[in-house]
Structure 1
Amino acid sequence: MHVLSRFSEPGGLRCSSPSAASTMQAEKSKHKTYRHSSQNHERNRSSLVLPASDAKICGLQCRPGEGNRMHRLQGEPMSTPNLDTEKLRSNEESRVHQQIAFASGLFQGDITIRTVLESLAEGVVIIDSSGVILLANEFAGQMFGYPGRDLIGRPHAVLVPERLREIHKEHMARYFAEPRIRPMGMLLDLVGCRQDGSEFPLEISLSFLETIKGVLVLAFISDITLRKQIETRLRKSEELFRIQVEIVKDYAIFTLDLQGNVLNWNAGAERLKGYRAEEIVGRHFSCFYAEKDRNAGAPEDELKKAADQGQFAEECWRIRKDGSGFWADIVITTLYDESGNPWGFSTVTRDITERKKAEEALSFSEARYRALFRDNPTMIFTVDSEGTILTANPFAASELGYTVDELERQPVLKLLHEDDREAMMKQLQMCLKNPDEVHRWQFRKIRKDGTLLWVEEIAQAVSGLEGGRAVLVVCQNVTERKRAEEALRKSEMKLSKIFHSVPVLIGITTVAEGRCVDMNEKGLQTLGYRREEVIGRSTLELGIWESESVRDQATRILLKEGMVRDMEMHFRGKSGMVFTGVLSAELIEFDGEQYMLSVINDITERKRMEEEIVRLNADLEAFNYTVAHDLRQPLNVISSYCQMIERICRDQLGDECMGYVQGAYDSALRMDRLIGALLNFSRLARVEPRRETVDLSAMAHGVAEGLKQTEPGRQVNFEIADGILANGDASLLRAVLDNLLSNAWKYTGMKEQAVIEFGVRDVDGVPTYFVRDNGAGFNMEDADKLFTPFERLPETENQRGFGIGLSTVERIIGRHGGRVWAEGIPGKGACFYFTLELKLK
């Protein structure tokens, strides 16, 4: 690159151009030499420095205190080139003319500088702040395709490709705003534009001249096309060399003499076999062979084959220095001298262990694929683009009643129901058109015997055996599933019929808004709405709930428990009529949204009947007490008369007569007790238990002590478990234990050693209490009669009692929400069980 730059000695400038060196030397005595250095520019921030005498010749003067920085002398005459004055018609043209003349005069007085500029093998241009080229050497014109001095006066933008001019304009404006030295190589490569429009790479260094006409920019331009071409070829050459080196690293390359001794050794050989060159050169290459191959003479045989045939190649097992083995692809080539005589062998070895493993894996995979294809209990086909069956596995053939040979090369449409054939071909074409997608469909296939089966097929395009495209089809027999789906569809139809025919209100609403999704016919009838009036509307909007708070209460319970059970409340129909209903609800979910499945049983009539029953029971109770009073009145008279006769007439009457009187008295007392028992039995049907925690163990001990006192001579062993607690009415539960333990006492009367047990055990998670004895027992066929009032089993007719004790137990347990039952074996005893619910429903 040739530039004008400041010389290191004060007051001196010289040219660095080799071509101008002789000229510069010749002129050295007449003129001082000039040098323009970009490095010095960074330090001194000036464009050209001349001795004061030379500056004056160029029309420049030094400002005080600025050393040799040169400026144009005001008022000094300057030489101007011969310009065509006809073209300079405007003021702007005149200004450009003056600027060009001024720039030409800068160096006109100094032959050395002009000679240097013209002799440089690079372009030099000077432009002003408006971008006009004021001065250009001949080389610049040649570089850009402008003859002679045709560049002068043109806008410098013609040297820039049109697509880059706007960006270049911005750069130029910034540079003139803050001029500075910019040597070559500091920025990215630039592009120039010749007069014919062709582009070429270039480098530019910039400097500036401060003159009385303003700042001028001095640009040195180099065409770097050749350098770029050389750089490109060099990069390609280096890349090729790099690739070759990398490839060589994967191969062990060495030479042998005719006897098989190693002559040389490359880096790839060292990496592959583990020997350094100094360890292996001179040794026989048989050390690379397995012992059995050495003993068999394989090294010598291979060299002989290479010598006879010119080359020997095989894939074989080789041994490294550390004793490990690897699969190798070797090529042994005979080497000849200029006379055609063999002088040695070239050996190239490549490690193919991974390839062998891959081949084995592929072989295994293919074997596994064949096994899966052959033994898979799923129908598998491959079909070409024409719909011809290429392959079919044995299961597919068996399922359809064919052999494999009968299926292959047959049209797949042969296996399809005629109504599905067109759709099948469309699906196959879709698979081939979209090979990355997995397709699914269901069609009907026809077996060889004509029977039909439904199949679900999964298909995807694959590479065919001959390089074309095929479709892999995996079929699953879904005939049973289709039947199940049809059964489900029918079941759903039945369920819908049941839903709409159930004689209670059933509705499905969203939990969030209470919006009605469905309601059965009974619900619409009960509320008085048509279906279109209900579906999609909120139950609050319809006013079905007695109040919003009632609905919120039911919703809270539903969300907490997942269900609502037997919640009695009032509801309102379309007419405004209010009715009483019992709500039961389940929390269900469809497609991620929660719904309330509500069943409302209209109990308005039942409530009316219950109220009527309460009234009738009250009347019945009053009637019972009246009847009891009326019955007891004569019984009291009879009892009183019998007592009077016994007291007054005992001496007048004989023993026989007194026996009759005593019998009448006992019968009256028995009848009175029966009337009392019946009143109690009737009362139990209406009494509400007052629940509390009851110690049944203590209660059972009390009953047992009372029974022992009635018959002190009996041997009865009571086994009563401790700590048995229950939640119930204490007085009613006392009656239960009285009856059950008394019943056991009564029916163990014939046992010399009676055992009566009271305890509790868990049955299906429910506490179950029991009274067991070893008495007379009973036949299980008569178990249902035990709890019927006044019913006596045949073998117990002589036992005392009224026959309502167990009926009383059943009624009390029922009032607690539990149940009672009995088990027995004749002659071996009986066991009575009862449960008590924790809460009354």
Structure 2
Amino acid sequence: MQSKMIEILLIKDSGAEAELIKEMLAEASHPECSVQHVKTLAEGLTQLRSRGFDCILTDLGLPDSQGLETALAVRNQSKLTPVVVLTGLDDEDTAFKALQMDIQDYLVKGEITGRLLTRTIRYAIRRKSDVDALRFSEARYRALFHDNPTMIVTLDADLTMLTANPICACQLGYKIAELEGQSVLMLFHEGDRPAVIGQLQMCLQNPDQVYRWQFRKVRKDGKTLWVEETAQAISDLSGAPNILVVCQDITERKLLEDELKKTGIQNELLLASAGEGIIGLDLEGNQTFVNTSAATLLGYEVSELVGRHSHSTWHYARPDGSQYPAQKCPVYAAYKDGTVHSGDEMFLRKDGTAFPVIFTSRPIIIDGEITGAVLTFNDITERKRAEAEIERLNTDLATRAADLEAANRDLESFSYTVSNDLLRSLMAIGDYARAIQDFSCAKTDEQCKNNARRIYDKTRHLAELIGIMHDFFRPMRIELHREDIDLSEMARETAEKLRISKPERCVSFRIADGIKADADRNLLQMTLNNLLGNAWKHTVSHEEAFIEFGMTEINGMPACFVRDNGTGFDMANADRLFKPFQSLPGTEEYASEGIGLATVERIIRRHGGKVWAEGAPDKGATFWFTLPRD
């Protein structure tokens, strides 16, 4: 078999010496050598960049480089190619340094023969290959053992730690020297050591088997770790039994498993204690889990339902006895279209009786795929009964309300007719009394005149009272017409009318801008007229009177107010303010019919609001009202 030709790069400035080396190789080499000769380091590096060689022969003294730096530059350019130095310098120190630089050999020119040169090249190539293989093996060892991110230890037959990689020492809080030569049992939790011994002895007894286990280890600082270990018996170079143990920290996984276990128990307790029925369904509609409440509501034991088809068990028929097709079942719709479905349905108990339920069916989606559904439901029999009773009561109430409304209309019509007839009669009596007073003075005595005058005054007062009562009840009769209104502008109009009525009075009106409301314009105008008029009346004795209309926020709700510095009132009598025909003590000089504030209360109440007042004698009063938006 023909040997492969050895490709050699010769870097030497002397052409004669280069030819001599070529002749030596040609005479002594087997296999043949092909020599590429260059004279400078730069040319040599160019050749190395463009092609590969089996061996490099280089002189240390070149026109562009001197000394070991020449060999170093060559080696760095082609680290996988063996380098042999040819030099006239017989210096052992230089030779030793060259070998330390991964130069394969160092030959002195005067001592070189063809046979020596050929053997040196052949050995250099082989030695370089062996060294590279050893380095590769060492690198692989470092990657597999020393640099492995997983904890690794080796043990002898006595369970003594022979080696431990850095990550093992680091994760356990030790230095490597503190582990090697010590019993591996020192690393394990005291309660796990007997089981650890048993597992390791089984490894030694069954060298072909791989064993796995999970135990607790204890760090140097006392912290406990959960580990999962894989172990197998091996033999060292002398054939003695050892154990290789690969260890992984699974503390977080263990904690998660414990947490999941607790969560599972909690979920089981929640399912068991939930008052509503809960059923899990797979994609075929089979029941995968059923809680106690669901089984009780359906009249089954849990074991009777799990694994059975849901629709054919408790949803197969309608209340009238007709068949309920499974493809129309709303419970199944959740895992057909992947959305939540809910509503009212009728389920069937084990004894065949139907009962109404409210249900929700939610799809179970794992990694984007629908795997089933969860059904929750409640028996709403009592709710249905209550709804029916409420509907009956509402119907009865509506009938009674209609009857009451009709009766109120009749009463209102009757009251209106009676009051008008009474008013006409009073006016006639008054007219007769006035006639007696005006036209019979000559024929009547003074007593008769006085009686006629009193009759006339009383009839006029009674007529005014009937008119006032009409005004008092009118806000409750008319229909509300809500609209956006400007209360500030309306208050200014009322203030202007009050000024015109008594131009001699000096009253300062303070009306805030931009107070808006959603209310009936006419009724709110009546409200402002009454409140501002009330303040106008009760500040008459103050030379520097002021009346303020504004708005603030109370408990998150806008509240309007009318404030004055008038006579005020005693808060002990506040509950009488808004009652009709009531006058507070000390207000006799301001006496009126007593329906203004009562009318305000009725108007605000019709709008869904509230009215109240605050004050103190001789310190003024503030009247508040709220107007919720419709």
* 1:399, distance to aligned residue in structure 2 (A): 6.0
Partner deviation per Cα, 1:711-744 (whole Å, 9 max, x = no partner) = 895998799xxxxxxxxxxxxxxxxx95699999
Residues 294 and 637 (structure 1 numbering): CA distance in 2 closer, same or farther, change over 3 Å? closer
Q: Could you tell me whether the CA contact under 8 Å between 1:511 and 1:555 is conserved in 2?
A: no
Match of 1:801, SS state, is: helix
Task: Indicate the residue corresponding to 2:80 in structure 1.
Answer: none
1:571 to 347, 353, 356: 347
What's the counterpart of residue 473 of structure 1? Answer: 246
Query: 2:586 aligns to what?
Result: none
The alignment partner of 2:483 has SS state of helix
User: Contact 1:445–1:453 at 8 Å: present in 2 too?
Assistant: yes
1:330 and 2:105 matched:
yes
> 1:644 and 1:272 mapped to 2: Cα distance?
144
CA contact (8 A) 1:554 1:564 kept: no
- Equivalents in 2 of 1:443, 1:289: separation in Å? 69
SS at structure 1 position matched to 2:474: helix
**CA pair 289-334 structure 1, distance change in 2 beyond 3 A:** same
Are positions 1:544 and 2:324 aligned together? no
* Equivalent residue for 1:604, pick from 360, 381, 398: 381
Instruction: Tell me how far 1:498 sits from its aligned partner.
Output: 1.9
User: What residue ranges of structure 2 are gaps of 5+ in the alignment?
Assistant: 26-31, 48-56, 73-83, 318-322, 431-455, 495-511, 531-548, 559-574, 579-596, 611-624
Q: CA deviation at 1:521?
A: 1.6
Structure-2 residue corresponding to 1:704: 484
Does the alignment pair 1:305 with 2:96? Answer: no
Deviation at 1:830, TM superposition (A): 10
**Please, which moves more after superposition, 362-371 or 652-661?**
362-371
- Once the two structures are TM-superposed, the CA of residue 671 in structure 1 deviates from its matched residue by 4.4
For residues 248 and 362 of structure 2, what CA distance do their matches in structure 1 show?
41
Check conservation: 2:188, 2:218, Cα contact below 8 A.
Answer: yes
Q: Equivalents in 1 of 2:85, 2:170: separation in Å? A: 58
The answer as to whether partners of 2:279 and 2:375 remain within 8 angstroms in 1 is: yes
Q: Aligned-pair distance for 1:368?
A: 8.6
Confirm or deny: 8 A CA contact 1:442 1:455 kept in the other structure.
yes
Please give the alpha-carbon distance, in whole angstroms, between the structure 2 residues aligned to 1:744 and 1:355. 108
Quickly say closer, same or farther: Cα 1:800–1:353, change in 2 above 3 A: farther
1:335, 1:344 within 8 Å by CA — same for their partners in 2?
no
**Is residue 657 from structure 1 mapped to residue 462 from structure 2 by the alignment?**
yes
Q: How far did 1:640 drift?
A: 3.1
Change (3 A) 1:465 1:390: farther
Structure 2: how far apart are the matches of 1:746 and 1:562?
A: 60
What's 1:486 paired with? 258
AA paired with 1:639? Y
Task: Tell me the equivalent position of 1:628.
Answer: 405
Q: Deviations over 1:575-608 (max 9, x none)?
A: 1101111221111157988222111222122112
State the Cα distance separating 1:485 from its structure 2 match.
Answer: 3.0
Question: 1:526-537 to 2 correspondence within 5 Å?
Answer: 526-537=297-308
Taking only aligned residues, the RMSD between alpha carbons, in angstroms, comes to 6.0
Residue identity opposite 1:532 in structure 2: S
Which shows bigger deviation, 378-387 or 296-305?
Answer: 296-305
Letter in 2 for 1:445: K
Q: CA deviation at 1:661?
A: 1.6
1:347-358 superposed matches below 5 A: 348-349=120-121
Deviation at 1:554, TM superposition (A): 1.9
Query: Does the aligned pair in 1 maintain the 2:10–2:35 contact within 8 Å?
Result: no
Contact 1:336 1:343 in 2 (8 A): no
Structure 1's unaligned 5+ residue stretches are 1-238, 277-282, 318-325, 678-699, 720-736, 751-773, 784-791, 809-828, 835-841
Tell me which residue corresponds to 1:619. 396
Alignment correspondent of 2:65: 291
Provide closer, same or farther for how the CA distance between residues 636 and 422 of structure 1 changes in structure 2, counting only shifts above 3 A.
same
- Counterpart contact for 1:313–1:330, Cα < 8 Å: no
- Pairing 1:632-643 to 2, within 5 Å after superposition: 632-643=409-420
Give the number of equivalent residue pairs.
472
One-letter code of the match for 2:275?
A: P
TM-score computed with the length of structure 2 as normaliser = 0.56
Spell out, residue by residue over 1:147-168, the C-alpha distance to the aligned partner (whole angstroms, 9 max, x if none).
xxxxxxxxxxxxxxxxxxxxxx
Kindly name which structure, 1 or 2, has the bigger radius of gyration based on alpha carbons: 1
| Aligned residue number for residue 779 of structure 1 | 554
Which deviates more from structure 2 when the two are superposed, residues 484-493 or residues 465-474?
A: 465-474
**Matching of residues 413-812 of structure 1 within 5 Å:** 413-421=185-193, 423-425=195-197, 441-447=213-219, 452-457=224-229, 471-476=244-249, 478=251, 481-512=253-284, 514-546=285-317, 547-549=323-325, 552-554=328-330, 557-588=333-364, 594-647=371-424, 649-650=426-427, 652=430, 654=457, 656-672=461-477, 703-704=483-484, 776-780=551-555, 801-803=603-605, 805-806=607-608
Of the three residues 156, 160, 184, the one matched with 1:388 is 160
Write out per-residue CA displacement over residues 649-670 of structure 1, whole angstroms, 9 at most, x where no aligned residue: 3472546434322222123334
Partner letter of residue 6 of structure 2?
A: K
Pair 559,495 (structure 1): closer, same or farther in 2 beyond 3 Å: closer
Query: Shift of the alpha carbon at 1:477?
Result: 5.7
Whole-angstrom distance in 2 between the partners of 1:833 and 1:461? 86
TM-score by length of 1: 0.44
Once residues 288 and 561 of structure 1 are traced to their aligned partners in structure 2, the CA distance between those partners, rounded to angstroms, is 83
- How has the CA–CA distance of structure 1 residues 744 and 432 changed in structure 2, closer, same or farther, with 3 Å as cutoff? farther
Write the distance in 2 (CA, Å) between the matches of 1:335 and 1:548. Answer: 110
* Aligned residue number for residue 263 of structure 1: 20
Residues 562, 636 of structure 1: alpha-carbon distance in 2 compared, 3 angstrom cutoff: same
Q: Which moved more, 1:449-458 or 1:575-584?
A: 449-458
Deviation at 1:617, TM superposition (A): 0.5
The residue matched to 2:352 in structure 1 has which SS? coil
Cα gap change, 1:477/1:560 in structure 2, threshold over 3 Å: closer, same or farther? closer
Q: Secondary structure at the match of 1:703?
A: strand
**Which of 412, 415, 419 is residue 184 of structure 2 equivalent to?**
412
Given the superposition, is the C-alpha separation of residues 344 and 410 from structure 1 closer, same or farther in structure 2, using an over 3 Å criterion?
A: closer
Q: Paired residue for 1:202?
A: none
Q: Deviations over 1:143-202 (max 9, x none)?
A: xxxxxxxxxxxxxxxxxxxxxxxxxxxxxxxxxxxxxxxxxxxxxxxxxxxxxxxxxxxx
Distance 2:180 2:223 in 1: 20
8 Å contact from structure 1 (residues 582, 601) kept in 2: yes
Change (3 A) 1:597 1:706: same
Which letter maps to 1:577?
Answer: T
Q: 1:214-229 alignment to 2 at 5 Å? A: none
Give the equivalent residue in structure 2 for 1:697.
none
Shift of 1:364: 8.2
Kept in 1: contact 2:361–2:374 (CA 8 A): yes
- Corresponding residue for residue 182 of structure 1: none
Which whole-Å CA distance do the structure 2 matches of 1:565 and 1:638 have between them? 58
8 Å Cα contact 2:71/2:103 also seen in 1: no
- SS across alignment from 2:262: helix
* Alpha-carbon distance in 1 for matches of 2:131, 2:487: 98
Taking a change above 3 Å as real, the CA distance of residues 567 and 408 of structure 1, as seen in their structure-2 partners, is same
Contact 2:485 2:519 in 1 (8 A): no
- Structure 1 residues 641 and 659, CA, compared in 2 at 3 Å: closer, same or farther? same
Q: Distance in 1 between matches of 2:87 and 2:133?
A: 27
For the 8 Å contact 1:260–1:285, the answer to whether it is kept is no
Question: C-alpha deviations, 1:418-452, integer Å up to 9, x for none?
Answer: 55345535655787899999975421124567664
